Structure formats: C-alpha cells, structure tokens
Amino acid sequence: TDVLGDQTTRELAERASTVLRGLGVEPPETGDLPARSPITGGQLMTLRASSPEEVDAAIGRAATAFRAWRTVPAPVRAAVVRRLGELLTTHKSELAELVTLEAGKIGAEAAGEVQEMIDVCEFAIGLSRQLYGQTMPSERPGHRLMETWHPLGVVGVISAFNFPVAVWAWNTAIALVCGDTVVWKPSETTPLTALACHSLLRRAATDVGADPEVHQLVQGSAEVGSRLVDDDRVALVSATGSVRMGRIVAPRVAERFGRCLLELGGNNGAIVTPSADLELAARGIVFAAAGTAGQRCTTLRRLIAHADVVGPLIERIESAYQQLRVGNPLEDGVLVGPLIDGRSYTAMRAALDRALADGGELICGGERVDGFGDDAYYVRPAIVRMPAQTAVVREETFAPILYVLTYHDFDSAIAMHNEVPQGLSSAVFTSDQREAERFLAADGSDCGIANVNIGTSGAEIGGAFGGEKQTGGGRESGSDSWKAYMRRATNTINYSAELPLAQGIKFG
Ligand code: NAD
C-alpha cells in the first residue's frame, strides 16, 4: 500500500485550493489541462487550456496596452514592479508552498525561488532609472550623436517547469520597466503557480493605477506556445526550456525577423584540481548535483577530477549522498524531492543503462524510492564513474546523475570540459591562482557562467544569466540583460547652420 495515495492527493488539492484563494485566485473547476503534483503523481485539479482565439485575443490586448505603456516614464512604470515585489514579500510562503506542490521543490528551494523574484523586482526598480544610452563624439562640428533605448513591444515568455515562477519574474519585471507588455505561456506542468503570479501582477497594476492588461496569461502545451512564436505582434520571444524546443522555436521566430532570447539546456561541468579544498568542493558539488533532484538547468552533471584527488573526492561525495533524505518535499529535513514525472524517471534509467554499457561504474544511487504512489517518481541521486566522456555524458539528462571523469593535465581537463554541445554553467575548484584565472580566460571555460570555488548552480540575479552554444546565447536577469527587451535608436542632431556630410563627402 502507498504511504502517499489518493487520500494525500486530496489533501494536497485542498492545500493548493486554499493557497490559491489566499492569493486571490478562485481555484479552477474543470477543463482539459490537468494540474498534477509530483509529490504523489496525482491530479490536483483541472483547468482550461487557452483556445487559439483566446491566445490571439491575449496578444491583441497586450499589443494595445503597449501603445500607452511605452509612453509612461520608466520610473513610473516601476511602481507596478515595486508593488509586485511587496505582494510577493507578503505572500512568499504561500507562493513557495504552491511551487512545492506543483514542481516538487523542497521548502527551502521553493522559498529561494520566490526570494529570487523579489530580488529581481528590486533590481528592475533601480534599473528603471538607469536605462542609459551613450553619447559619442560626432566627427562633424555642431553635431551631437547619441543613442536612445525605447520599449520594444509585446514580449512572449515561454517558461519551463523547473523554475515555474522565477524565470517569469526575471523576464516580466525587466520587460515591464523597459516599457514592454507580456504574454506568458508557462509550462503545462505548472499552471497553478502561473495563475497565482498572474493574479498578483494584475493586482499590483490595479493597486498603483496602471493598466492590468500589460500582462496576459495563456495556458496550455506547445501548441499554445507556438502561437506566440509565429505571431508578428510578438516582438521578442523569450523561451526557456530544452534544446529540442529551442531548435523548433528559433528558426520560426527568425523567419519572421522577430527577436529570440533563448535559455536552453545545460550540461554543466566542474573541474577539481589537486590543490582544491576537497571539503569545500564536496559540499559545493553535492548541492549542485543533487539539489532540486538534479532538475536545474545549472545542475552539475559532469565532475572532472584530477587523478590524484578523484578517489578521496568520490568518497566524500558518496558519504554525503548517503545522508541525503529523499522524500516528500513538504516534510522538514527532506533534501531531495520527486522527479517531475515518469518520463524523467525513464530517461534517467535509460541514461544509466547507457553509461554502464559504456563501461561506467555505478558508485551509488539510481534506484527508485518506493512508497509514494505508482505515479510518483523519487530516486536516489546517482554517481557514475566513467572511463571517457561518451555520447550519453554529452547529453543533458534532466535527473540527478553525476558522471565522474578523470584527468591528468589541466589543458586536457579544460578541453574535456568544453567538449559538449551545451555551454551554460561551469566551475573550477582550486587554490592555484594560475588555474583559476586560466579557467576564466578566453581559452578557459566556454560557458556563459564560469565560477571559482562555487558550484555550477544557484546564480545571483545581479549577473547576466545564460549560456553559449546549444544553450542558446540569451542573457536574462541582471547586468545589461535589459537591452534584449528594448530597441536602440541612434540619433544625430545638427545644431549648426551648416550641413556637413559624414566622411567628408561633398555632394553638389
Ligand atoms: P520543455 O522544452 O519541454 O518545455 C519548455 C517550455 O516550452 C514549455 O512551456 C513548453 O510548453 C514549451 N514548448 C515546447 N515546445 C514548444 C514549441 N514547439 N513551441 C512553443 N513552445 C514550446 O522543457 P521542460 O522540460 O519544461 O524544462 C526542462 C528544460 O529546460 C531543461 O532542458 C533545462 O535545462 C531547461 N531550462 C533552461 C533554463 C535556462 O535558463 N537556460 C532554465 C530552466 C530550464
């Protein structure tokens, strides 16, 4: 018999309904889109997916709202985001609970995700007074040359299940202060957190007297997303998800000369050198590899350790893995919650089988933890020692498998590190400054994120977030990522009585 069965699913559904009501959302009654909880694998409720006509209408409303929103001064636009940040602070624990119920994250990580939303709101508020353009010296007397940043238009946000709320906030807080309006297509796996965020944002807009139509929510699967992808009224498609999705989305947006911001899969590696502090490295590695049950885009999947330290390092990680409690993420002390669904589990098993067929040695983990229901998939995080970086290691399997590879010289470690198609996050653990700097240099890590003595996951919002190669090249969140959400105009102003031409051209 199941420890967590129908009874528990009913309880979870009640909790979800209560949380939704607390956030001002009447729980949906019926529809064709199921909202599941990976905690039991059961269905919490169903809601209606958006029809093609509804998606078109939502884009239309966002496009209309944009016409006025773009003329509101940016620091005034920030009032919506400030209010959103306040509402998120007030409702942090409820929203985090919904993230746990729907995405299976443990409480601390779910709360961290909501904190990230609050942080990016603060960032966006400050940014609203810093949407700087440059002025350049003109080559002509009596002329001024400058650039101005203007709002871009409707931003279509397509997001993944594993950061159901933070990725939306990264995009939406920045897009709104930049003067854009947003149509959001969340993952079909996490429709309830989306209802909650949408409601909070609309409330924030209403509270400060702004137009709530600046934000639209459409729900459903890939077909709903593809309507955003193909619609000329959507100026920027910001899509987070698998490389497979990006391969379909990017050429279609390019075909209509729209803009794309892609945040796709990672296959993140860490190099551990002989001078590394192994205790610190092991702690960083365990969080990065097993945290969120291996379901972060920045999860550590490849450990590249020097031959002199690989043995003791594996021992430390293995012993930390034995202590990890796998189970119901609503319970205190649990560090590893469920996989999102059965497909993830099947993919994990298939990857492990391939790795072992390639000569890999299973150090620990990989087995399913029973007692949570037939449709709930809990696994013990796995460590597999690999003789070489075979094809399966070069793929992203979205589950907690840590492949361990061995190196002898630092150049070959960097080469092995970069020898995968993805380029999101990376790390080196070392006390040798030469190695640390080399890892960060032009001929070091080829990733969008390169860290020293910190794991690959858990980025702060202040930096630009994103990766190279098949990760898609997009940057979101901090630094100057806002530029993707605006259009640039170069302005030349002649305040003289002459009309000199550039490059000294004489005409007539
Ligand atoms: P997924 O690709 O299955 O789905 C992501 C989103 O894209 C969903 O909303 C889905 O409905 C939509 N989608 C899928 N096909 C589409 C299409 N043809 N047209 C329009 N929309 C489409 O990904 P997932 O399983 O939800 O998430 C896991 C993946 O996301 C992993 O690969 C992970 O690395 C990646 N991810 C990347 C980042 C990042 O910032 N780089 C962040 C989180 C997750």
Amino acid identity at 368: R
- For residue 220, give the ligand 1 atom closest to its CA: 11
DSSP 311-368: HHHHHHHHHHHHHPPBS-TTSTT--B---SSHHHHHHHHHHHHHHHHTT-EEEE--PE
User: Does the Cβ of 160 fall within 6 Å of ligand 1?
Assistant: yes
Amino acid identity at 128: S
Question: What is the predicted pLDDT for the residue at 4?
Answer: 65
User: Does the Cβ of 249 fall within 6 Å of ligand 1?
Assistant: yes
User: Does the Cβ of 378 fall within 6 Å of ligand 1?
Assistant: no
350 C-beta neighbours (distance < 10 Å), count: 12
Give backbone dihedrals phi and psi of 59, rounded to 5 degrees, phi first.
-65, -40
Cα of 229 vs centre of ligand 1, distance in Å, is 14
Active-site annotation holder among 188, 297, 447, 476: 297
- Asked about 468 being catalytic, the answer comes back as no
Contacts of 376 (CB under 8 A, 6+ apart): 4, 38, 39, 40, 41, 338
User: Does the Cβ of 265 fall within 6 Å of ligand 1?
Assistant: yes
In a mutational test of the pocket of ligand 1, which residue from 297, 425, 468 has the highest number of ligand atoms less than 8 Å from its CB?
Answer: 297
**pLDDT above 60: residue 465:** yes
Could you tell me the pLDDT band of residue 6, with boundaries at 50, 70 and 90?
confident
How many angstroms separate the CA atoms of 371 and 194, rounded? 30
Joined tokens for residue 21: 């009501």
CB 292 within 8 A of CB 113: no
User: Does the Cβ of 229 fall within 6 Å of ligand 1?
Assistant: yes
**pLDDT tens readout for residues 320-335:** 999 999 999 999 999 9
Helix (H) or strand (E) holding 254, with range, is helix 243-255
C-alpha closest to that of 458 among 113, 97, 92, 111: 113
**pLDDT tens readout for residues 152-171:** 999 999 999 999 999 999 99
**pLDDT tens readout for residues 39-74:** 999 999 999 999 999 999 999 999 999 999 999 999
- Asked about 476 being catalytic, the answer comes back as no
CB 326 within 8 A of CB 379: yes
Give me the mean pLDDT over the 183-207 stretch: 98
Joined tokens for residue 274: 């002989």
**pLDDT above 90: residue 1:** no
- For residue 189, give the ligand 1 atom closest to its CA: 26
Question: What is the predicted pLDDT for the residue at 289?
Answer: 98
Rounded to the nearest angstrom, the gap between the alpha carbon of residue 132 and the centroid of all alpha carbons in its chain is: 26
Taking CA atoms only, the protein residue closest to ligand 1 atom 19 is 226
Taking CA atoms only, the protein residue closest to ligand 1 atom 42 is 297
Cα of 407 vs centre of ligand 1, distance in Å, is 33
Ramachandran category for residue 365: left, alpha or beta (phi over 0 → left; psi -120 to 50 → alpha)? left
- For residue 158, give the ligand 1 atom closest to its CA: 9
How many angstroms separate the CA atoms of 430 and 454, rounded? 10
pTM of the model: 0.97
Which residue in this structure is represented by tokens 């099947």? 346
**pLDDT tens readout for residues 86-112:** 999 999 999 999 999 999 999 999 999
C-alpha closest to that of 365 among 375, 376, 355: 355
How many angstroms separate the CA atoms of 349 and 343, rounded? 10
- Estimate the crossing angle of helix 92-103 against helix 6-22, to 10 degrees: 150
Question: What is the predicted pLDDT for the residue at 145?
Answer: 98
Cross-strand pairs, 407 = 306
Taking CA atoms only, the protein residue closest to ligand 1 atom 16 is 222
Q: Give 252-257 contacts, CB < 8 A, sequence gap 24+.
A: 252/226, 253/229, 256/230, 256/232
Give backbone dihedrals phi and psi of 249, rounded to 5 degrees, phi first.
-70, -45
- For residue 241, give the ligand 1 atom closest to its CA: 30
User: Does the Cβ of 188 fall within 6 Å of ligand 1?
Assistant: yes
Question: What is the predicted pLDDT for the residue at 7?
Answer: 76
**pLDDT above 80: residue 3:** no
User: Does the Cβ of 222 fall within 6 Å of ligand 1?
Assistant: yes
**pLDDT tens readout for residues 431-464:** 999 999 999 999 999 999 999 999 999 999 999 9
User: Does the Cβ of 396 fall within 6 Å of ligand 1?
Assistant: yes
Share of the chain above pLDDT 90, in %: 98
- For residue 243, give the ligand 1 atom closest to its CA: 32
Share of the chain above pLDDT 70, in %: 99
Amino acid identity at 137: P
Which residue in this structure is represented by tokens 């860490």? 270
SS3 labels along 440-501 = HCCCCCCCCEEEECCCCCCCCCCCEECCEECCCCCCEECCCHHHHHEEEEEEEEECCCCCCC
How many angstroms separate the CA atoms of 174 and 484, rounded? 10
Joined tokens for residue 76: 């005034």
CB 191 within 8 A of CB 96: no
Q: Rounded mean pLDDT of the chain?
A: 97
Give me the mean pLDDT over the 196-205 stretch: 98
